Amino acid sequence: MINYFSGKLNYKAILLSFLIFPFYNAKAQVKTDETKMNEFVKNLMSKMTLDEKIGQLNLVTAGGQSKTGSVVNEGIEGGIKKGEIGGIFGIWGTNYIRKAQEIAVKNSRLHIPLIFGLDVIHGHRTIFPVPLGMSATWDMSLIEHSAQIAASEASAEGINWVFSPMVDIARDPRWGRISEGSGEDPWYGSQVARAMVQGYQGGNMKKADAVMACVKHFALYGGAEAGREYNTVDMSLIKMYQDYLPPYKAAVDAGAGSFMSSFNTVNGMPATANQWLLTNLLRKQWGFKGFVVSDYTAVNELTNHGLGDLQTVSALALKAGLDMDMVGEGFLNTLKKSLKEGKVTQFEIDQACRRVLEGKYKLGLFDNPYKSISEEREKHEEMTNDNLSFARKIAEHSFVLLKNADQTLPLKKSGTIALVGPLADNHSEMLGTWVVAGDPAKSVSVMEGIKNVAGNNVNILYARGSNITEDSLLGARSYFFGLKQLKDSRPPQEMIDEAVETAKKADVVVAVVGESANMSGESSSRSDINIPESQRDLLKALSKTGKPLVIVLFNGRPLTLTWEDKHASAILDAWAPGTEAGNAIADVLFGNYNPAGKITATFPRSVGQIPIYYNYKNTGRPFKVGDAAKFKSDYLDISNDPLYPFGYGLSYTTFNYGDIKLNKTSLKGNETLTATVTVTNTGKYAGEEVVQLYIGDPVASISRSVKELKNYQKISLQPGEKKDVVFNITTQDLKFYNEQLKYDWEPGQFIVQIGPNSSDTHLAPVRWLK
């Protein structure tokens, strides 16, 4: 080493260093991060026993921390010390996680740190709208920032792995987990998947406020038959590649660190033991370099799928490419025996172990096992004013105005309002489904929000009106993990009568109704997706008073709202808005924010239309309005059209779309088509509009969707202001998976469509040759 300072400057030494350094640097082996990781993991694995390698594949749940106060149970503590556990999920908080990590780092033979996972689905302590609601913002910067805040809050407590985002495409609103995704469109779902992964992981997972994303559920989970949870999925490869797989691929391209296998079958083989899915597609075709964990006991459940006993199915899952077994301990208890019997190889065990250790390395856990555990951050960086302000903002932006007859909304900040409904003065249902660490008691109720926003000139009269449901079966199955419906013991008619009398004294009625938090989410499929009957009875009685009726809707899925659409004056879909629910709802009701949300899943008129989605394919006998109905693809008793189409959402103002202007009507090869439309705010309020671009491919080598979303722009306009919205279209926007599953485009005519939703568009044809 050259001593540059030895009392006086050594100029010869300095000159010599400049002369030889370039040559030295050129010859030196520059170790990339990946090289360093590979060397580290290889060295560590050379010291590990077979039992310790298998232990890294074992993910357990501690469970019950809030009830018992213990960090982990006795059996788990022993397993950590023996190196039989690679990760834990289900605990949070710095105190719990630090103690659990200390057991691994200080008491296991090789001091390998644990990875700590948690269901952080739409926020950690600060809760944002359910993902289906967030997707209605059509704002990737908001969605990404929600993930950043969730990562920051969760990581402060030591969580370094979140089981999110759920990117499953869903076209059946009977399926409860539609609430956890981004709706029905693969292109839009891909944008959300990318934003969520980037928000969680940032540019460097070693940072203290970053976490590893776990993309779920791979794959096709949202295609469950009959919308019934955990049910069979069976679809063509073209449908799979074109409509369901793109968001997973987008997450891989965004650098997602881990994937979670799904419960369902794919091509007849359960995903958790599907080598084509986990190895050929995910790793070989897409280049995924992270690890794959099973869903909860999914390895054990392979037995119910008919694939064999626990030892057999554990071997199948490992050989397929599954790296980590959640809870079931099939890997832990059978792989050693399977290795001796030749049912698995040492290479397969090592490969899975290496992938799990690489995940921990990428998180920086070998550098500092306690890297993000910070009591100071936990105390000062959770549920901050900034976080709550953002929660309020993203909730406002997620709301969708479904109806607004006679400009009923926004409400005046004067007069008398009758506030009714079982969700109007309720904290327990504000957060929505799959909230693990959020505290409902810290949420803002609709009653509180209206009082905060409306001011002293508004007189609020409250009546509960009904319970969420009087159906004992629905009520019992909608509440679990010790939760209970907050029920009023009075007879239903007595509550309705009280609400009607309250409404008669008011200028306008605001009815806050819909689903409870856990009427959607996992294991919450519904065959009837109406508002529960007890609340519909309330709405019918309120409608008869003749007072303007504003429905504020809580829901985790599209509902059938034909009666409500016909009889209510206004309907505001608030989804499940999160911690700042009441404040955000009040901001929109009173016009502090003009709603601009657009739905990302079609609302049917009837469950008989399901599955229903905008990008359907034509049949040989398509029905068109005005045609004779017989022997056409339609229903005898209902329209084919949905109640609210994909991309739909109103505003307090109105927007006019001009005709589409194309820079060319005939193109060749890799030219770029420019499509321009002038959008004008023709109303009285400043507002935002989501301008949507669709493309149709009417003649192709296979039957194609009638249209597909290809882009959008969200613009803001003052009253009277107009803006030219320009879309640049390339051949990349024309590509699809053909019969050979080749992703390519074909020459011919295309229909460019631009509008405020998927049904109301302006059209412009263009011819594009190779």
Strand pairing of 708-717 and 687-696? Answer: antiparallel
User: Does the pLDDT value for residue 350 go beyond 70?
Assistant: yes
> Looking at 27-41, 181-195, 507-521, which range is the least confident one?
27-41
Structural Rg of the chain based on CA atoms: 28
| In the predicted structure, residue 13 carries a pLDDT above the cut 50 | no
pLDDT digit string (tens) for 564-616? Answer: 999 999 999 999 999 999 999 999 999 999 999 999 999 999 999 999 999 99
> Are the CB atoms for 108 and 83 separated by under 8 Å?
yes
Residue 64 pLDDT greater than 70, yes or no: no
pLDDT over 60 at 221, yes or no: yes
As a whole-number percent, the residues of the chain with pLDDT over 90 amount to: 90
Q: How far apart are CA 336 and CA 174, in angstroms?
A: 42
The pLDDT tens digits for 77-87 are 999 999 999 99
Is 386 an active-site residue? no
pLDDT tens-place string over residues 529-542:
999 999 999 999 99
Degrees, nearest 5: CA angle 135-140-143: 60
Q: pLDDT class for 301, splitting at 50, 70, 90?
A: very high
Separation between Cα atoms, residue 138 and residue 163, nearest integer Å: 23
> Is it the case that residue 398 has pLDDT exceeding 70?
yes
Give residue 73's pLDDT: 55
In angstroms, rounded to a whole number, what is the distance separating the alpha carbons of residues 170 and 204? 31
Q: Which of 539, 427, 441, 429 is nearest to 478 (CA)?
A: 429
- pLDDT-based confidence at 10, cuts 50/70/90? very low
Q: What is the mean pLDDT of residues 74-96?
A: 93
DSSP state of 127: B
Q: Residue 553 — φ and ψ, nearest 5°?
A: -100, 125
Question: What average pLDDT does the segment 255-260 reach?
Answer: 98
DSSP string, 245-263: SHHHHHHHHTT-SEEEE-S
CA 194 to chain CA centroid, nearest Å: 11
Cα–Cα distance measured from residue 233 to residue 223, given in angstroms and rounded to the nearest whole number? 6
Res 223: pLDDT: 98
Q: Report which of 175, 130, 233 is spatially closest to residue 610, judged by C-alpha positions.
A: 175
Do the beta carbons of residue 428 and residue 561 sit within 8 Å? no
CB 146 within 8 A of CB 85: no
CA 696/CA 109 separation, integer angstroms: 61
Prediction pTM value: 0.94
- Confidence bin at 1 (pLDDT 50/70/90): very low
Q: Report the half-sphere exposure of 322 (CA within 13 A, side-chain side).
A: 34
C-alpha angle with apex 476: 441 to 440, nearest 5 degrees? 10
**CB-CB neighbours of 243 under 10 Å:** 24
Please say whether the beta carbons of 149 and 141 come within 8 A: no
Q: Is the peptide bond before 548 cis (omega within 30 degrees of 0)?
A: no
Long-range contacts of 614-617 (CB under 8 A, 24+ apart): 614/184, 614/185, 614/645, 614/646, 614/647, 614/707, 614/758, 614/759, 615/184, 615/185, 615/243, 615/646, 615/705, 615/706, 615/707, 615/708, 615/709, 615/758, 616/705, 616/706, 617/703, 617/704, 617/705, 617/706
Give the mean model confidence (pLDDT) for residues 689-696. 98
- Number of H helices and number of E strands within the chain? 23, 29
Using the predicted structure, report yes or no on whether residue 74 has a pLDDT greater than 70: no
Cβ neighbours, 10 Å, residue 6: 8
Average the pLDDT over each of 16-20, 398-402, 420-424 and give the range with the smallest value.
Answer: 16-20
Lowest-pLDDT range of 55-64, 170-179, 639-648:
55-64
Ordered DSSP codes for 643-673:
SB-TT--B-SS-EEE---EES-SEEETT--E
DSSP secondary structure string, 496-558?
HHHHHHHHHTSSEEEEEEE--GGGSSTT---S--SSPHHHHHHHHHHHTT-S-EEEEEE-SS-
Mean pLDDT across 230-248: 97
Give the Cα-Cα-Cα angle 298, 186, 744 (nearest 5 degrees): 115
Q: Is the pLDDT of residue 69 over 70?
A: no
pLDDT mean over 70-75: 56
Give CA–CA dist 429/555, Å, rounded. 10
Active-site residue among 168, 172, 243, 295?
295
Q: How confident is the model at residue 177 (pLDDT cuts 50, 70, 90)?
A: very high
End-to-end distance of the chain based on CA atoms, in angstroms?
63
pLDDT score of 473 more than 90: no
Output the average pLDDT for the chain: 94
Judge whether 582 and 430 are in contact, CB under 8 Å. Answer: yes
Maximum pairwise Cα distance, the chain: 102
The residues, any chain, with a CB within 8 Å of residue 66's CB and separated by 6 or more, are none
Residues 344-372 have a mean pLDDT of 97
What does the alpha-carbon distance between residue 196 and residue 738 come to, in Å, rounded to a whole number? 30
d(CA 340, CA 331): 14
Distance (Å, whole) CA 649 – CA 333: 53
Q: Say whether 760 sits in a helix, a strand or coil.
A: coil
- Three-state secondary structure call for residue 459: strand
Q: Is 60 exceeded by the pLDDT of residue 5?
A: no
Calpha distance 284→290 (Å, rounded)? 12
| Confidence tier at 62 by pLDDT (50, 70, 90) | confident
| Band of residue 345 on the pLDDT scale cut at 50, 70, 90 | very high
Three-class secondary structure assignment of 560-597: CCHHHHHHCCEEEECCCCCCCHHHHHHHHHCCCCCCCC
Query: In this structure, are residues 120 and 177 in contact, taking their beta carbons and an 8 Å threshold?
Result: no
